[in-house]
Structure 1
């Protein structure tokens, strides 16, 4: 079987995002889009030229079929996906009152994706992949989803598949106490960790950037990359540690999805075996490009678009070691 670059799985929902910046109670038209952390990463990687397979369980309804067709149309392998008549495809709405003032309303409880079970995983694809990407959203959806994540990790470790983990903490899905336990359990088995600073603080109990990264690293060979928003990102490994500044932005259109674009950039750079400074710098650029466009996937760039963006703004950037 041909070696797959990346395998990822999780819930993708229908996104209704109004064009107007108004409270939802005054909105009458809702353009239909899609959004989901893992499929965002999958699409981001496909646009960067990688072979990616995404798995989920979708409602056997018009929304579920639309999601699969859309993701497949982006060049992602969706052949492992399952449809079920037992539960609907999840939905969510974005309410944007200003570029920075955003509220998200989820309608995902009991959704089709929450019914994913370990036995439904495409074990052959995980075993053949160079990277398994996991989000902390999936284990929060249900006990069977949590068990599926553990099973995927087990398959990956037995086959030397690199595990990249983005904690992606969602307070609406579970308590901080439960999240801390599960996120740390997954992190212990991961090779690359991509937490935001707040997520790192939750997982470690530390507050300062370097202390958070140091505790996440422990006595391991992991790659820790802390996302610091407008400040950029911080790398911490046994061999090196440094900050990479963010790209300055003139305008933020939609802040959701930047972390997924960043994750796609990190995985792409690691697969290309680039120096870590270059990897993080490109990931920062992709995150900056994503927030400049409305929607979760619409701003994810191609490789040539990233290079053009970096060429325009690259002289402003520097690394602090």
Structure 2
């Protein structure tokens, strides 16, 4: 091939054919964030737990922006370590080299938001798991499976961790994997400030400067704040520090400048910072500055790893950083591709991002935990139908629901689409038995009765949800209102939606109607009016209406105001098993219908016999499983097994034109 560098062609092919875009390595901790804003850390009374640590934050941030990402680290073989691994896996990060360490605990950091400029930060890292990463924890082949490897300066504080970085860098260079260096200078890690001085960002240290420079010649991209550039360059004059780094490496240098944006220096260092490739920042109201740098780098790399021009890399990095500072936490604040695209397209003029209802909706719905796209739910949240039934000695409604839970757990091992729905009263033990072993767990919050809507024990929704596991799906049957009850009911629906959004929980709203043309149209009108309140549930639970044209209108109503809705589950409505199977078969092919949530139709008869002592556990299970499988077969008979991440988009249903 005359005139073509064949070695370069092979290298290009290897890079773009690799299974991973990025591997990050290093600090992976639990961030324990104070919920109260404006308080000293001493005064914070409740906390939220998140994935933390620069490499872990960037792994999540880049994964949310569509990159294929892996993480190399160690976590304690403990509850916090398992929390980190499971959280990373839900984000799509490859965790094959997240190694559990039985000799060390997972590191923890307590953080507060005192004000927009001050964030108390307390690290617990003595002999922690991630500092023990060793070359034996990963292979050269794994490093070579990625386009780039990111290492950070926080792991240059001990000889062993430094040696590990050196090994990883050399393995990367041997495989043609680019190496990114995030300087990540924290004086507290070097013992330069008191242990409660975690928010300190710069203390001059020749030891830190020497360590930061150790592998500089091997890097392909160097990234740091002005303070970090000063420590790496050994000078508090930014241009002099940049020139000192340039003498050590030809790698492009990215200078993060906070609200001012960033500057890239691809080649020679100019006499003024402003003469580099300047990426202006986006003016936004700051809620939390912690994590801005990791957010920036995630956005920047989402461009750099796709060979975008420097200006676009800067633009994406600055936009991602702006989105992150508008939220609580570091990794959970990371935006998705949909959010970033929206911001760059039309959100730049909204400086109060933390008050944007649409952005909050987009963030919540695009960062939800994975769920089965088709769901078959055993709905055991009823209490009233069982209360008048005779109970033999040793039999109870709570015992019945525990038995349903056991059956569901056994079925879920073979059918991951099996879900359950229980109440807080007789179903509490069943919920505890299920734990997180089933992917779809719904929980009733409403108090059964006429409008206006009331919650259990007449307590506010937020009081209940404060004590519920976050993976529970909040189910609420919305009673039919009238003029007298409508205002209060709408207020409570808004309250419920605000509470589920605040706690990051999914919401299912149920509407019960007879199967008539008029009632199907009434359900559509109710959906429109509820969503017009700004209440946008993740799921709707609706009757299996026979009217095909009504379904068209219902699906359009949902997608018009709630395009990220996961879909509709069909309820049984007290139909006979044969009637319900026929209705499910006729409806399962609908684009937004994702499964069913059926209770009394499945187990009212066997439950009555079991409670009376006329049926044993095994016979009850056989009856329940047979009825359940019949409904699944009815669903599958009409091609109801398709998958969709967001039902409206998958169905091709577009929003109606607005006047």
Normalising by structure 1, report the TM-score.
0.92
How far off is 1:208 after superposition?
4.2
Structure of greater Rg: 2
Matched residue, 1:156? 172
Matched residue, 1:229? 258
The answer to whether residue 95 in structure 2 is matched with residue 78 in structure 1 is yes
35-44 or 227-236, which deviates more: 227-236
Rounded to whole Å, the distance in 2 between the matches of 1:212 and 1:177 is 13
The answer to whether residue 142 in structure 2 is matched with residue 108 in structure 1 is no
Tell me the matched-pair count: 314
Rounded to whole Å, the distance in 1 between the matches of 2:348 and 2:215 is 35
- State whether residues 213 and 226 of structure 1, in contact with CA within 8 Å, keep that contact through their aligned partners in structure 2: no
1:253 to 275, 283, 287: 287
51-60 or 7-16, which deviates more: 7-16
Secondary structure of the structure 1 residue equivalent to 2:214? helix
Rounded to whole Å, the distance in 2 between the matches of 1:235 and 1:210 is 13
Rounded to whole Å, the distance in 2 between the matches of 1:92 and 1:314 is 32
Q: Deviations over 1:57-82 (max 9, x none)?
A: 11111111111000111000001121
Matched residue, 1:305? 339
Matched residue, 2:154? 137
Rounded to whole Å, the distance in 2 between the matches of 1:26 and 1:63 is 24
Q: Deviations over 1:71-130 (max 9, x none)?
A: 111000001121122111111101222122111001111111122222222321111211
The answer to whether residue 136 in structure 2 is matched with residue 119 in structure 1 is yes
- State whether residues 105 and 129 of structure 2, in contact with CA within 8 Å, keep that contact through their aligned partners in structure 1: yes
Q: Deviations over 1:30-81 (max 9, x none)?
A: 2222211001101111111111110211111111111100011100000112
- State whether residues 133 and 164 of structure 2, in contact with CA within 8 Å, keep that contact through their aligned partners in structure 1: yes
Rounded to whole Å, the distance in 2 between the matches of 1:43 and 1:70 is 9
Rounded to whole Å, the distance in 2 between the matches of 1:222 and 1:11 is 23
How far off is 1:310 after superposition?
1.8
Rounded to whole Å, the distance in 2 between the matches of 1:69 and 1:237 is 38
Q: How do 1:175-194 residues align onto structure 2 when only pairs under 5 Å count?
A: 175=192, 176-194=205-223
Rounded to whole Å, the distance in 1 between the matches of 2:127 and 2:267 is 42
- Identify if the C-alpha distance between structure 1 residues 314 and 20 changes in structure 2 by more than 3 Å, giving closer, same or farther: closer
Rounded to whole Å, the distance in 2 between the matches of 1:272 and 1:130 is 10
Matched residue, 2:279? 244
Rounded to whole Å, the distance in 2 between the matches of 1:71 and 1:3 is 18
Rounded to whole Å, the distance in 2 between the matches of 1:241 and 1:100 is 27
Q: How do 1:28-39 residues align onto structure 2 when only pairs under 5 Å count?
A: 28-39=45-56
- Identify if the C-alpha distance between structure 1 residues 26 and 207 changes in structure 2 by more than 3 Å, giving closer, same or farther: closer
1:262 to 296, 316, 327: 296
Rounded to whole Å, the distance in 1 between the matches of 2:113 and 2:103 is 33
How far off is 1:315 after superposition?
8.0
The answer to whether residue 319 in structure 2 is matched with residue 285 in structure 1 is yes
Q: How do 1:5-84 residues align onto structure 2 when only pairs under 5 Å count?
A: 5-21=21-37, 22-84=39-101
- State whether residues 7 and 125 of structure 1, in contact with CA within 8 Å, keep that contact through their aligned partners in structure 2: no
4-13 or 200-209, which deviates more: 200-209
- State whether residues 164 and 193 of structure 1, in contact with CA within 8 Å, keep that contact through their aligned partners in structure 2: yes
- Identify if the C-alpha distance between structure 1 residues 25 and 284 changes in structure 2 by more than 3 Å, giving closer, same or farther: same
Rounded to whole Å, the distance in 1 between the matches of 2:235 and 2:108 is 35
Rounded to whole Å, the distance in 1 between the matches of 2:349 and 2:264 is 21
How far off is 1:313 after superposition?
5.3
Rounded to whole Å, the distance in 1 between the matches of 2:83 and 2:150 is 23
Give the RMSD, CA atoms, in angstroms.
2.0
* Contiguous gaps of at least 5 residues in structure 1: 317-321
How far off is 1:253 after superposition?
1.3
Rounded to whole Å, the distance in 2 between the matches of 1:315 and 1:104 is 32
Matched residue, 1:319? none
Secondary structure of the structure 2 residue equivalent to 1:80? strand
Rounded to whole Å, the distance in 2 between the matches of 1:195 and 1:111 is 25
- Identify if the C-alpha distance between structure 1 residues 81 and 219 changes in structure 2 by more than 3 Å, giving closer, same or farther: closer
Secondary structure of the structure 2 residue equivalent to 1:144? helix
* Contiguous gaps of at least 5 residues in structure 2: 1-16, 193-204, 269-274, 351-659
- State whether residues 118 and 145 of structure 1, in contact with CA within 8 Å, keep that contact through their aligned partners in structure 2: no
Q: Give every structure 1 segment of 4 or more consecutive aligned residues whose post-TM-superposition deviation is greater than 4 Å.
A: 313-316
Structure with more contact order per residue of length (Cα contacts < 8 Å, sep ≥ 6): 1
- State whether residues 201 and 212 of structure 1, in contact with CA within 8 Å, keep that contact through their aligned partners in structure 2: yes
- Identify if the C-alpha distance between structure 1 residues 252 and 314 changes in structure 2 by more than 3 Å, giving closer, same or farther: closer
Secondary structure of the structure 2 residue equivalent to 1:68? helix
Q: Deviations over 1:244-282 (max 9, x none)?
A: 111111x21111111111111222211211111111111
How far off is 1:215 after superposition?
3.0
How far off is 1:295 after superposition?
0.3
